[in-house]
Amino acid sequence: MNFYMSRLLGIILLAFGFSFWATAQDVKQNQKKAQEIQGNSKYYWGIGSGDTEYSAGQAAMQDLVGNISTHVTGQFDVRTENLVDGQNISSKMATENVLRTYTSGHIQDVKTLLLTKNAPFRVMRYLTVATFDSIMNLRKYRIEDYMRMAMEAEEKGYIDDALKNYYWGLCLLKSLKNPSNVLFSDKKHGIENRVLINWIDQQMNDIFGKLKATITEVDQAQAKLMITYDGNPVPRVEFKYHDGRRWSSPETAKDGMGLIQMVPGYEPENVQIHYEFEFTGLASTDSELSEVLEIYKGTPFKHASAIIPKPTKKEMKSAMKQFEAAAQEQASPTDAFMKRSKEYTTKVLEIAEAIKSEQFDAVRDYFTEYGYHMYDSLLHYGHAAILTIPELHCYEFLDKIVCRSIPMKFTFKEARRDFIEDVNFTFNKDGKIESLAFGLDKPTRDQIYSEKNLTAWGDSTCHMLAAFLENYQTAFALKRLDYINAFFADYATIVTGTVTRPAKKDRSSGAMSAKEQQLVQYTTQDKEQYIKNLKKTFAGNSYINIKFADATIEKMNDRAPGVQRFAINIHQDYCSTKYCDSGFLFLMLDASNINWPIIQYRTWQAERDEKFTTKLMRKNIEEARQLYKFWGLMNVDLLD
């Protein structure tokens, strides 16, 4: 058994702790049942022996997978060249590796019988053939869901999400029995009976072909990049580059802007760049997907790598115009109440110069005490570098002035990670900076400030929603535990979720989405528990970065006068030193006090559940009441 299989078995069995042996079993009855199972073709089974129940269970699981492999190997088209880099394994072992992702991802469907009371222990692990077939069928529907999410992400400009979903779907596709025979149709996008494995390859290569990186400016060993997709600044994309000595850590380009650091003295004629598409870290909450990605890691895409040629002066000038225009777009308020004021913009420009010259304390008087604490935290968030300084704009929001924005790159050398953020500055009524925030990317801002929302809710409400989300993601980055504590209601219900396995459901009613296929184990916490756990998380990670995208926001139909609540459903990529995941954050926000909106309810979901928000609306009061009751929201009347 190779290292991967051994490690995987250990993780699976340790995770469940053999809790199924916590109660005494009738060994004689188990032995009789085991004989019946062995003589029944409706079951797959395996038996293992060991000095402990644990080791016997490991051996039984290995035997079970081998038994399944014997029956289905001829049905699987597993290409060993596509498996883990550097492993020279047989076709049989390759098939067993793939089959293991089905059984281990559905461990609760694999039953256990203890056949002896004392050492040496003997254990049987078994499941029905029908159960295994249904598990395999579910994976196909999950792949189709990834395809639809990829196309939607590409339409909205989130190229990183598009590549991620295409690639994750591709890896799952390769683990099916006959991946070359799988067809894909989607009426919404005019796709009919396409050979999926070829179609995914074409889609990904088309995306790579539309990405273009150009050097806009070189300052000693630093070079600014403008990365476009189909001619426009790409909202988000991740990449690595060769700095003259080695490949860099993962870099992020935001709204097209990137900054790379070459080895001092190295002046290449061109720069090698490789666009990220695997995103294995973000799959960590999904054990089944993680195992499949591990098997197929290193899948080559020729067009994922590109050469950035040394540009001509004319090319650099043109690219720099795009770079500065992208920065300017982020610096411009989305409403008509723009306020040009030297009092504010001059201070921000001087702060930018203080950061560039590393004379950080020179601008201390421009901040409130707490504002300076945030400024200091920002500088320690990661090594800070300013990409450019656009023409700054300010706008009024309540009794404050918000000044947008300075694009900055933050580098975490020990963690080998880089992020680009637009830093906004908020002044209080006394003209001092009281807070800083990382700005949302352009597509997300456009969603919030849509014509529909501005007409229905007004400028101030849109400002409030955007500022809240910006402050939320910044609070986690800068580990502002006091702020997070303050924007959760004392009675808030906070739900964290973990995908455990696909749910059992009758397939006769039609295809299920990935959400319907999954069983998510939720853990409900009160505010005190959540903050306590968050404090440990902050202490154990050198950095935390949250990226929001693709927001859907609905105003709830509250009957009480003066009550204003919003249901926010937004895609979140969460990444820290020790852990990353990708999913959807649902927030029920009470914005009755527009100065300080608070979260009444928060949950994480593996996939967006469009019906979830609807259940919270006035359209279905009784169902909503039951939903609130189910989630433990007993201390507040959320509907009246």
Please choose, from the candidates 438, 167, 382, the residue with its C-alpha nearest in 3D space to the C-alpha of residue 277. 167
Asked if the model's pLDDT at residue 502 lies above 60, the reply is no
Bridge partners of 329?
none
**Cα–Cα distance measured from residue 616 to residue 627, given in angstroms and rounded to the nearest whole number:** 8
* Helices vs. strands in the chain: H and E counts, helices first: 19, 25
pLDDT the model gives residue 77:
67
Highest mean pLDDT among 67-81, 131-145, 258-272, 335-349: 131-145
Tokens (6 digits) for 459: 């400028």
Asked if the model's pLDDT at residue 626 lies above 60, the reply is no
CB atoms inside a 10 Å sphere around CB 353? 14
pLDDT the model gives residue 266:
72
**Cα–Cα distance measured from residue 231 to residue 233, given in angstroms and rounded to the nearest whole number:** 7
CATH top class, domain 459-640: alpha beta
pLDDT the model gives residue 595:
87
**pLDDT grade for 79, boundaries at 50, 70 and 90:** low
pLDDT the model gives residue 353:
94
pTM of the model: 0.78
Condensed to tens digits (0 to 9), the pLDDT of residues 580-613 reads: 888 889 999 999 998 899 999 898 877 776 665 5
pLDDT the model gives residue 249:
85
- Looking at the chain, the whole-number percentage of residues with pLDDT higher than 90 is 47
Condensed to tens digits (0 to 9), the pLDDT of residues 539-571 reads: 999 889 999 988 989 888 766 777 889 999 999
Segment 408-417 shows an average pLDDT of 82
Q: What's phi and psi for 478, nearest 5 deg?
A: -95, 5
pLDDT the model gives residue 497:
59
Asked if the model's pLDDT at residue 267 lies above 70, the reply is yes
List the domain boundaries for the chain. Answer: 3-134, 157-313, 332-439, 459-640
**End-to-end Cα distance, the chain:** 61
Please choose, from the candidates 79, 102, 44, 283, the residue with its C-alpha nearest in 3D space to the C-alpha of residue 180. 79
- Give residue 268's identity as a one-letter amino acid code: P
* Sign of the CA dihedral running 110, 115, 116, 121: negative
The helix or strand, by DSSP H or E, that contains position 125, with its residue range, turns out to be strand 121-128
pLDDT the model gives residue 503:
43
Segment 442-457 shows an average pLDDT of 91
Condensed to tens digits (0 to 9), the pLDDT of residues 300-309 reads: 898 999 999 9
- What rounded mean pLDDT belongs to the chain? 82
Q: Could you give the 3-state DSSP secondary structure of residue 554?
A: strand
- Looking at the chain, the whole-number percentage of residues with pLDDT higher than 70 is 82
Q: What is the largest CA-CA distance in the chain?
A: 86
How, if at all, do strands 598-605 and 488-502 pair? Answer: parallel
Q: Could you give the 3-state DSSP secondary structure of residue 112?
A: strand
Q: Say yes or no: do domains 332-439 and 459-640 share a fold.
A: yes
Whether 72 and 100 have beta carbons less than 8 Å apart is answered as no
Q: Could you give the 3-state DSSP secondary structure of residue 608?
A: coil
pLDDT the model gives residue 80:
55
- CATH number corresponding to 332-439: 3.10.450.50
CB atoms inside a 10 Å sphere around CB 252? 22
**pLDDT grade for 100, boundaries at 50, 70 and 90:** confident
